[in-house]
Amino acid sequence: MNPLHCTLLLGILVQTIVPHESGVSNGYKMDKIRWCVTSTQEHKKCENLKSMVSKFLCVLRNDTAACINAIKVGQADAITLDGGDIYKAGQPPRGLKPIIAEDYGKDSDTCYYAVAIAKNGTGFGFTELKGLNSCHTGLANSAGWNIPIGTLVEMGQIQWNASENRTIEQAVSEFFNASCVPGAVGYPSLCKQCIGSCSYSHTEGYYDYGGAFRCLKENAGQVAFVKHTTVPAAEKFGYELLCKHGGRRPISFYKTCHLARIPAHAVVSRDDTYLAKLIWNALQEAMKNFYLFTSAQYNGTDLMFKDDTVQLVQTPASSDAFTYLGANYMAVIRTLNGETKQHGALRWCAVGNAEAVKCSQWMNQSMNILNEEGIRCVKASTTNDCIRKILQNEADAITLDGGDVYTAGKCGLTAAMVEGYDTDSCTSAGAEASSYYVVAVVRKGSGITWGTLKGKKSCHTAMGRTAGWNVPMGLIYRQTGDCNFKRFFNKSCVPGAKLGSSFCALCVGGANHACKPNSEEPYFGYAGAFRCLANGSGDVAFVRHTTVNENTDGKGPEWATKLKSTDFELLCPNGSSLTAPVTDYLTCHLAKVAAHAVVTRPESRAHAIKILNKLQARFGPAGGDTFKMFSSTGGVDLLFKDSTECLVEVPPNQSILEFLGAKYVDMVTSLRKCEESRSDLERACSFHSCQNA
């Protein structure tokens, strides 16, 4: 029998007969970590670790796919994976999550650069690779496949799209003369240059970074796709980087000559808090007693962990595969996997019951008109839940306030269209298409000024929202330097804040809905915050400049019918006046900010714009008869702001930070020093410095 198979069977027996013994996770009692390895070299290193740190056991499988499955079904607990494999592991029904990231030290941290390298003096550039022999770390790996092949497709070097009958592997086979792509068994041209079985494991000599470099070094290929630290220091003089937009540079110039900067490899495991803590503690002990980031003595490279790892870093508890990788990198993966949505219904994320009802009406009407290119509805409890669903490809789009747009941008989503609030804005573009003013409203004659707000009761649209939180609290933080806003306001209603805190003390949603950041909390949103003030619950409401006018003088819902706009006034934070009539928002406001925007995944942007333009032509102000997109019953500002006149495309090359504007971004960034202002989702999406690079 093949020695590897013997070891494999032994590994299966070991993991089967050794139960977990203390602590409970996923139904298992445990006190040891079963680490999954994919080669005899890795198994040897793991067994050596086990002999020195008793908390480890070793489970041998043929490849990472088998390890992912073993972890999912509870036959193993952890493995370190490349980004491409993290994506696979995170897909339902596996649902594994990255819990610990590799950190590569200065200039890299928990990211690395994907680069193309060639031997010095060979002459060709990145756009001249057709017909050459190539070396790859592995099929669907980040630096070895997803990034270089995705880049070549994007640049038109490789002619392919997901609607073709041929696979991306076939397209690559036709582009390169011959290759070694470990794991591409079934594509002879992609395995032709390999020196083993072309397996997706260290049993293939040209597998992973060290293997792909060896492939280049031994002249099996003329170009290798690896990470920026792959070439040993003593050999750098013999190799060059191929720059994406032309030319070559020395290996040390990777910061300006690379294909992409992407998230580091990470330890993945089941979604289990106890198990994650056990793995972290075991690895901390291992680093004190074992050379965890060295592989040379086991006749390999990058075994169990990358050899250039400096330290390990825990990911935020709310991280998953999608927040860890970010939407930009996942767009590349989905494109190569043929998962990019170019036609069919647009899956709209509706927050709460009232939005779900309106969305259902929109869906029924749109399907009657546009058939399969209408709307499908996905329901969620909060806007952050919607952002996650869009990241996970369970939904496609939602309209968000600027604060949520900021969070979505941190996760790699993109702004596709912006709400326009008047006729002129419907002929403009991008962030200039429309904007609004953030104002602080009080009852007329209350005697309250911006300078006397401390100790008062406050009404906010929701935690993290532009008008209701980011702008007013950003200004207050700049004045006080104190992140403990509970010391500033006596009581508040801030939907989305922690239940039981003073920030939820004024909310009136009842036992099941109090302080929820959706329409089930009566004090949620612009109208809700104003209602909180009008009812006498709060002393000040932070809203947009149109809110008072939309909910007084006979306009607005039933609770607002007797309210008069002249009974309220604005607080002026600057200038000669302390207060002003609600009509004077041009001179008395807290900030001017970008309008609400439709966000989606980068690869879905064109599809979303196409569908929304068709829908607003039929259901917008000019065409709406049976259904109106920009009008709400049973609530206010459902799906879109009721004052919306149109949706305008955001310029395709405009980043979310550019869309929001430098002043607003600076204010939010400053406020984010206060941890209470950062949602769990934003913490997860902001983990990497490369997330939005």
Secondary structure of 107-130 in the HEC alphabet?
CCCCEEEEEEEEECCCCCCHHHCC
315-345 pLDDT per residue, tens:
999 999 999 999 989 999 998 988 876 778 9
Contact 152, 244 (CB under 8 A): no
- Report which secondary-structure segment, H or E, holds 274: helix 273-289
Q: Please report the pLDDT score of residue 432 as a whole number.
A: 53
| Residue 575 binned pLDDT confidence (cut-offs 50, 70, 90) | low
Of 343, 344, 379, 339, nearest to 359 by C-alpha is 379
Contact 579, 572 (CB under 8 A): yes
**In the predicted structure, residue 647 carries a pLDDT above the cut 50:** yes
Q: Please report the pLDDT score of residue 576 as a whole number.
A: 65
- The larger pLDDT score, comparing residue 85 to residue 341, is at 85
The C-alpha atoms of residue 199 and residue 185 are separated, in whole angstroms, by: 7
Tell me if residue 180 falls in helix, strand or coil. Answer: strand
Tell me if residue 430 falls in helix, strand or coil. Answer: helix
The C-alpha atoms of residue 234 and residue 32 are separated, in whole angstroms, by: 39
Q: Please report the pLDDT score of residue 21 as a whole number.
A: 37
Tell me if residue 98 falls in helix, strand or coil. Answer: strand
Which residue type occupies 308?
A: D
Q: Which phi and psi angles does 503 have, rounded to 5°?
A: -70, -15
**In the predicted structure, residue 74 carries a pLDDT above the cut 60:** yes
**In the predicted structure, residue 213 carries a pLDDT above the cut 90:** yes
Q: Please report the pLDDT score of residue 483 as a whole number.
A: 92
Poorest-confidence range of 101-115, 234-248, 345-359? 101-115
253-267 pLDDT per residue, tens:
999 999 999 999 999
The C-alpha atoms of residue 421 and residue 526 are separated, in whole angstroms, by: 16
279-315 pLDDT per residue, tens:
999 999 999 999 999 999 999 899 999 999 999 999 9
Tell me how far CA of residue 395 lies from CA of 246, 377, 386, in angstroms: 38, 8, 7
The C-alpha atoms of residue 170 and residue 476 are separated, in whole angstroms, by: 59
Buried/exposed code over 151-165 (b: 16+ C-beta within 10 A; e: otherwise): bbbeeeebebebeee
Average pLDDT, the chain: 91
Both tokens of residue 123? 């002459």
Contact 35, 78 (CB under 8 A): yes
Percent of the chain exceeding pLDDT 90 equals 80
Q: Please report the pLDDT score of residue 434 as a whole number.
A: 78
